[in-house]
C-alpha cells in the first residue's frame, strides 16, 4: 500500500508540475516582444579595442582604428521551422565600434521559441533599387557613419581601417578595406545563418538578448587570406572584394542568449 501511495503521489506531483510548466510557457510566450542583438566585436578571441594591435597569420601587425558594418534582412526561425521576417523598410542597421552603437533591436516580433537567426551583411539589390527615396533613414545614417561612397557608387557594407606593419613594411602604413556592391555585376551582399544554441524566448514580457561575436580578424585572415603588404587599400576590386565579402559573412558566431526582461545582459 505504501508503494502504491508513493507512486500515486509522484504521479500527482508530476502532473501538477507539468500543468504549471505548461501554464508558465503559455503565459511567457504570448503577444509580441522585442529581440535585442548585441554584436560583440573581437579579434581572435579577445575583445576588440580600437587602437590596439594584433598579428595575423601572415605576420602583419594591425592596429585597428575603425570597424563599421551594415546588417539587415533579419529572419528568426522557431523550433517548428516557422520563419519571422523583419520588415525590410526598417530592417537595416549600422553597427559601429567607433560610436559604440553595436546593438540592434527588432520590434513587434511574434512570441515564440526561436532557434536560429539569419541576417545579411550589407544592403541587397532589392533595397538599393528602391532608389534614394526608398532608403528611409538608412541613407542618412550611412552618410553620417562613413558607410556610403555616393548614391551612384552605393553603400560601404564594411569599413575596416587602421595601420599595419610587416617584415617588408616597417613604417606604420594606413590600410583601408571598404567592401560593397558595385552594380549588378559585382554583388557582394552575403547572408549568414547562425544556430542560437539556447532558444530565444520572445513574448510581451520576455526580451532575449542574442550576443553575437564578430571576429574582425576574419576579414583578412579567414577562409581567404588577404595580404595588406601586397595591397593596403581595397575598395573596388573584382578579385578581392568578393573574397572579403565571404570572409566577413563568416566572422559571426553566437556566444550566448540571455533570456529575460531585457533590462540587463
Task: Name the residue ranges covered by the structural domains of the chain.
Answer: 1-30, 32-258
What 3-state DSSP class applies to 103?
Answer: strand
Beta strands in 172-251 (DSSP E): 173-179, 190-202, 209-215, 233-234
Predicted confidence at residue 186, as pLDDT, reads 82
The x, y and z cell numbers of residue 7, run together, are 507512486
Question: ∠ CA(85), CA(31), CA(201), 5° rounding?
Answer: 70
Radius of gyration of the chain (CA): 23
Distance CA 211, CA 166 (A): 33
φ/ψ of residue 243, rounded to 5: -70, -40
Q: How far apart are CA 60 and CA 45, in angstroms?
A: 18
pLDDT tens string, the chain, 265 residues long: the values are 444 444 444 444 444 444 433 334 434 688 999 999 999 999 988 999 999 999 999 999 999 999 999 999 999 999 999 999 999 999 999 999 999 999 999 999 999 999 999 999 999 999 999 999 899 999 999 999 999 998 888 999 999 999 999 999 999 999 999 999 986 678 999 999 999 999 999 999 999 999 999 999 999 999 999 999 999 999 989 999 999 999 999 999 999 999 987 554 4
Residue 44 DSSP label: T
Q: Are 107 and 93 spatial neighbours (Cβ–Cβ below 8 Å)? A: no
The whole-angstrom separation of Cα 89 and Cα 138 is 9
CA–CA separation, 182 and 237 (whole Å): 10
CA 225 remoteness from chain centre: 22
Nearest to 65 by CA among 171, 192, 160, 165: 160
3-state secondary structure of 59: coil
CA distances from 233 to 33, 227, 242 (A): 43, 10, 15
pLDDT value, residue 261: 74
pTM value is 0.87
Q: How is residue 80 written as a grid cell?
A: 517548428
Give the Cα separation of 81 and 50 in Å (integer): 39
Residue 133: partners with Cβ closer than 8 Å, 6 or more residues away: none
Amino acid at each position: 500500500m505504501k508503494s502504491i501511495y508513493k507512486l500515486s503521489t509522484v504521479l500527482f506531483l508530476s502532473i501538477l508540475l507539468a500543468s504549471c510548466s505548461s501554464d508558465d510557457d503559455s503565459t511567457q510566450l504570448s503577444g509580441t516582444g522585442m529581440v535585442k542583438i548585441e554584436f560583440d566585436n573581437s579579434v581572435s578571441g579577445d575583445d576588440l579595442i580600437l587602437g590596439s594591435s594584433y598579428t595575423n597569420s601572415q605576420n602583419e601587425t594591425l592596429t585597428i582604428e575603425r570597424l563599421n558594418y551594415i546588417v539587415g534582412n533579419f529572419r528568426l526561425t522557431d523550433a517548428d521551422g516557422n520563419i519571422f521576417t523583419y520588415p525590410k523598410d526598417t530592417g537595416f542597421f549600422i553597427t559601429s565600434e567607433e560610436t559604440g552603437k553595436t546593438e540592434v533591436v527588432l520590434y513587434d516580433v511574434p512570441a515564440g521559441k526561436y532557434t536560429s537567426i539569419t541576417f545579411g551583411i550589407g544592403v541587397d539589390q532589392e533595397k538599393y533599387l528602391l532608389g534614394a527615396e526608398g532608403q528611409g533613414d538608412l541613407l542618412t545614417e550611412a552618410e553620417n557613419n562613413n558607410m556610403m561612397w555616393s548614391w551612384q557608387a552605393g553603400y560601404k557594407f564594411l569599413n575596416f581601417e587602421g595601420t599595419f606593419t610587416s617584415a617588408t613594411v616597417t613604417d606604420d602604413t594606413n590600410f583601408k578595406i571598404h567592401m560593397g556592391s558595385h552594380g549588378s555585376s559585382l554583388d557582394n551582399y552575403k547572408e549568414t545563418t547562425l544556430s542560437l544554441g539556447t532558444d530565444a524566448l520572445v513574448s510581451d514580457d520576455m526580451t532575449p538578448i542574442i550576443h553575437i561575436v564578430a571576429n574582425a580578424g576574419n576579414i583578412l585572415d579567414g577562409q581567404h587570406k588577404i595580404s595588406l603588404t601586397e595591397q593596403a587599400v581595397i575598395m573596388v576590386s573584382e578579385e578581392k572584394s568578393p573574397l572579403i565579402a565571404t570572409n566577413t559573412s563568416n566572422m559571426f558566431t553566437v556566444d550566448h542568449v540571455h533570456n529575460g526582461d531585457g533590462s540587463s545582459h
